[in-house]
Structure formats: C-alpha cells, structure tokens
C-alpha cells in the first residue's frame, strides 16, 4: 500500500498510526507474527473484507497473507507458520466451503488459532466451534481481531489468559477507524467477475463499500441478526482512495457492495460526486432497495449522470402477502413503479427474487413469471433467481413467525439452515425441477429467454395449463450483467458448491 495514501486518509502519520494499532493489538512485539486472512467465496469479487483488515494488520506490524479460495489454493507453505488464521464468512456458501476446508486448514497450521468473522460467523458459532474454530467475531470487528492477534504468542498460545472471543462471540457495533484497503496481496482484478455489457464487451470491475450493515430489518436478511438495524459509514476519503487504487489496477467499473447504497444518501452522494469528477468515464453499479428508489426520486438523475448504469434491487416477490411475511417494506405496485422510474432515467435494473417460500403457490409462481414478462424484464433477471428457495439461517427473523406458517421442521447442520417443507408437495417438486432445468440450461449456454420459456413451461405443466412461449420482442432490452451471479439470501446451488 502507498504510504502517503495512508497518511492522507487516516489524518495521522504512518508512525502514529502504526503505534496506535500496535497499542490496540496489545502487543508491540508483533513483527514476526504471521496473520492469514482467508475468503472462501465472495460472489466473484475481490474481497474488500480481506483487503481492509490486511491494511490494519500490516500497519500494526504483522506479516499478512491474504488467500482468496475462489482463486487460490491452500498450501502448507502459506499456513504452516501462521499465528492466527481469520476466515471471512460473508454468506452461507462461504461458510459451507470453510467447513469443508477446515480439516485441511487445521492440519496445515496445527499451532495457529483459527478465528472467523463476517455475517455468518456469529449466527453459526456453535457449529463453527465444533469444527475447531477458536474465536468468533461479528459486526465492526477489525479492532477486536487485532486485539485477539495481540493476545496470541508466535507459537499460538494465549499471552495473558483467555481472550473473551475464545468463550463467546464478540460483536462490536460501534464505529471503528477504517484504513485504505491493502489490495496488493490479492489476485489481480481481471481474475475476478467482470461487467458484461449489452454488446458483450467486458469491463474490469473494482469492488468497494461505502457503508457496512443496514438500517432495515427485512425478516429473511442475514445482515439483520448481526447489525440489528444499524449501519456504519466508511469515511469518504478512504472509499475514494480505494477507488483510486483500483482504477490504477485497471478497474473500468466500480461495483458498490454495500447491503444498501442509499442507507446514507448524502454520504453516497458525496463519494459519487468526487469519484465522477476525478474519473468521469468510470461507470458503477449499486444495490438499492425499492423503498429508497421511491423515496429518493431526485437521486435517480444524479445517479444516471454520474455513471450509474445498473441498480440491483431485491424485489423477492410480486405477492403483497409474501412481501409482508418478509417485512420487505415495499409492495408489488411499488416494484412496478420503480421499473418505470428506472426506465425513465435510463438506468438498467437487475431485480432479484426469492420465488420459493413457504407461502408460494403454483399460481403465484406463474403470476411472478407473467409479471416479469409483462414488465419486459426477462433479459434483466438472472435465470437462477427464478429457482431460489428461501434460506432460513440461525438467527433469522423468519423464526419469529409461527412454526405452522413457516413449515420449518428442524435445523439441518449439514446445510447450516432450518429445513422447511412446503405444505403442497407439488411446489417443492416444482422448485426442484426448475433448479435442475436452470442449471442444465445454463451449462448449455442457452439465452435468458430460452431458459425463461423452459421455466415457464415447467410451471404451466405443473398447473395443468398451456400457453405460448414469450417471444423475443417481448423480453426487454439486454442489460449489463455481472459475470458471476448475485444472490446471498438463498441456499447455494449444487453447481456452486460443486465448483469448490
Ligand atoms: S434485505 Fe437489504 S434492505 Fe433488507 S435488511 Fe437486508 S440489506 Fe437491508
């Protein structure tokens, strides 16, 4: 990392910053200790959540090695001399991959302490400790992670008694000092997911975050059990320096990975204004809630004029009762309103869905497909979205609903989620058939329209109905897409797990 950047962005000198971090770590003799930061999987993006703590540990004087298992393999050489290994669990898929990798990690680094952090760490504490995890962190965890590393000797022993994270999850929900992420130890940006434009040209994507956590409490969301309706801004100068360094590394497009980009609209605006002024050709995309797109209509021309070409929005359903169960904060009519607003402002929309829930019926599933066709969104919806099944992880607010409504049977440690079985066996069978068809069709590189029509025919047949296929002139415009699918609130697909 560029030293002058650190000085500029933290507002203190490098020496002062290093002293402060060494004091926070509780150990001023940490230069020989090696920290490994592992990301099992982060939706094909270069993980901000490794690069940012890498900068903090590096500045505190540790040797730091980042390993992104979506790109790199575990090796004895890297792990053998580690004092602490931190594994980032951002999503269920990452947690499942980490659990598979754990025996190898422990064998390769028998004396290292193993710690986990990220949304899925606190809610899976019991399972993770049974696997041999020594410490669990949640929320704004970098400073706690640093203090934990400071309490471990080079040979992996505790220096002064037991650290609290060894006994129970340490969740910090107060503001921390961020640093400009250190991305040097990660694979090059062009190895990660690209943005694929409608003309099939590709743009190298950078990835950063302007906030962490979320101020909303959607019932199915994995952010909620940890952040409990809070979010934290990453200082604008840190975000801008991170964008600057990614542009220097080749980024032509920035994907903002905040759970919701407009949780702090003025903060987002300040960053975008400065980014656009410095890099007028840079495009970007963000995840924005329907409620925010409706309540902040003045932002849409601003987003468009500053290079926003794609907004991902979690629609989940077009059935108002299901939206109420999920406590999504929008209605089906508001989704349609947003489709109109985005088209008016010439910003592509990528709606995401959780079509299979305990409240899905054959007819409301077909209504969802019809609505997507009616709104000319077939090219905007990643087909895998139409096969996803509601995930109910530990800590989910879905557990607040009566058991008879959610159809939950028990907790399945193998899938790290609660098993639910639909009252109507044909709905579960439909989901299985659609999942199977979508995976097969994608492996054959069928178009979104062909996959959509295949899905629709399967659903119509299940309901003993017939209807003609949707034609190419009804499917809407091709939109920019990430070359790796975006979804986090659903169970991982077989294909996704098999690739690891
Ligand atoms: S689903 Fe999105 S808006 Fe809702 S709580 Fe989660 S991150 Fe926030």
pLDDT digits (tens, 9 = 90+) for 100-156: 889 999 999 999 999 999 999 999 999 999 999 999 999 999 999 999 999 988 777
Q: pLDDT per residue over 216-225, tens digit each?
A: 999 999 999 9
- Tokens at 176, concatenated: 């921390």
Helix (H, G, I), strand (E, B) or coil at 34: strand
Atom of ligand 1 nearest to the CA of 489: 1
In the chain the domains, ranked by start, together with CATH numbers, are: 3-172 (3.40.50.280), 189-498 (3.80.30.20)
Q: pLDDT per residue over 170-185, tens digit each?
A: 999 999 999 999 999 9
- Tokens at 300, concatenated: 């849409």
Q: Is 259 in the pocket of ligand 1 (CB under 6 A)?
A: yes
pTM over cut 0.85: yes
Ligand 1 pocket test, pick from 120, 123, 213, 214 with the greatest ligand atom count within 8 Å of Cβ, gives: 214
Q: pLDDT per residue over 293-345, tens digit each?
A: 999 999 999 999 999 999 999 999 999 999 999 999 999 999 999 999 999 99
Strands 202-208 and 194-196: antiparallel
Distance 28 CA to ligand 1 centre (A): 40
Q: pLDDT per residue over 476-488, tens digit each?
A: 999 999 998 755 5
Query: In whole numbers, what is the pLDDT of the chain averaged over residues?
Result: 90
Q: Are 275 and 254 in contact (CB under 8 A)?
A: yes
Distance 369 CA to ligand 1 centre (A): 24
Query: What average pLDDT does this structure show over 186-214?
Result: 97
Cα 172 to Cα 123, 316, 318: the distances in Å are 14, 30, 36
Distance 472 CA to ligand 1 centre (A): 33
Query: What average pLDDT does this structure show over 186-193?
Result: 96
Q: pLDDT per residue over 36-68, tens digit each?
A: 999 998 888 999 999 999 999 999 999 999 999
468-477, Cβ contacts within 8 angstroms, sequence gap of 24 or more: 470/373, 470/378, 474/373, 474/376, 474/378, 475/373, 475/376, 475/378, 475/379, 475/448, 475/449, 476/375, 476/376, 476/377, 476/378, 476/379, 476/380, 477/198, 477/348, 477/376, 477/379
Q: pLDDT per residue over 360-382, tens digit each?
A: 999 999 999 999 999 999 999 99
Query: What average pLDDT does this structure show over 424-439?
Result: 96
Query: What average pLDDT does this structure show over 387-415?
Result: 91
Q: Is 214 in the pocket of ligand 1 (CB under 6 A)?
A: yes
Q: Are 304 and 270 in contact (CB under 8 A)?
A: no
Q: Which residues of 361-371 are buried (b: 16+ CB within 10 A; e: fewer)?
A: bbebbbbbbeb
Residue nearest to atom 6 of ligand 1 (CA): 221
């Amino acid at each position: 990392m560029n030293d002058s950047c650190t000085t500029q962005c933290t507002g203190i000198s490098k020496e002062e910053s290093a002293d402060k971090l060494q004091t926070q770590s509780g150990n001023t003799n940490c230069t020989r200790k090696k920290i490994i930061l592992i990301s099992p999987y982060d939706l094909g993006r270069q993980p901000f959540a490794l690069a940012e703590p890498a900068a903090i540990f590096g500045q505190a004087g540790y040797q730091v090695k980042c390993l992104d298992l979506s790109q790199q393999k575990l090796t004895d050489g890297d792990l053998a001399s580690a004092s602490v290994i931190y594994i980032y669990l951002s999503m269920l898929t990452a947690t499942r991959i980490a659990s598979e990798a754990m025996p190898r990690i422990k064998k390769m680094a028998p004396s290292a302490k193993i710690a986990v952090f990220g949304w899925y760490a606190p809610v899976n504490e019991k399972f993770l400790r049974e696997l041999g995890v020594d410490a669990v962190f949640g929320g704004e965890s970098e400073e706690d992670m640093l203090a934990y590393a400071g309490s471990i000797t080079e040979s992996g022993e505790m220096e002064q008694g037991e650290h609290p994270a060894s006994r129970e999850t340490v969740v910090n929900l107060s503001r921390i000092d961020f640093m400009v992420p250190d991305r040097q130890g990660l694979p090059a940006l062009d190895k990660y997911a690209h943005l694929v434009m409608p003309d099939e040209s590709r743009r190298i994507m950078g990835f950063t975050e302007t906030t962490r956590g979320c101020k909303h409490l959607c019932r199915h969301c994995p952010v909620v059990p940890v952040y409990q309706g809070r979010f934290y801004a990453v200082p604008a100068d840190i975000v801008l320096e991170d964008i600057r360094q990614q542009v220097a590394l080749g980024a032509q497009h920035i994907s903002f990975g905040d759970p919701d980009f407009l949780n702090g609209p003025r903060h987002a605006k300040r960053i975008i204004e400065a980014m656009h002024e410095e890099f007028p050709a840079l495009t970007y995309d963000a995840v924005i809630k329907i409620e925010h797109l409706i309540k902040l209509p003045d932002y849409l021309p601003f987003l468009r004029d500053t290079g926003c070409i794609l907004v991902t929005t979690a629609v989940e359903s077009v059935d108002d009762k299901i939206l109420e169960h999920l406590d999504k904060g929008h209605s089906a009519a508001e989704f349609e309103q947003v489709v109109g607003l985005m088209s008016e402002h010439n910003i592509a929309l990528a709606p995401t869905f959780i079509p299979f829930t305990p409240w899905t019926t054959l007819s409301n599933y077909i209504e969802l497909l019809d609505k997507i066709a009616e709104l000319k969104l077939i090219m905007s919806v990643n087909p895998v979205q139409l096969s996803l099944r509601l995930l109910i992880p530990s800590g989910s607010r879905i557990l607040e609903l009566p058991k008879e409504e959610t159809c939950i049977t028990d907790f399945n440690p193998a899938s790290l989620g609660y098993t639910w079985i639909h009252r109507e066996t044909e709905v579960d069978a439909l989901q299985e058939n659609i999942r199977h068809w979508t995976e097969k069709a994608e492996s054959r590189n069928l178009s979104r329209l062909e996959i959509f029509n295949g899905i629709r025919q399967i659903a119509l047949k299940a309901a003993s109905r017939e209807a003609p296929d949707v034609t190419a002139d009804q499917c809407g415009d091709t939109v920019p897409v990430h070359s790796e699918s975006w979804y986090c609130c659903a169970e991982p697909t077989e294909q996704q797990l098999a690739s690891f």
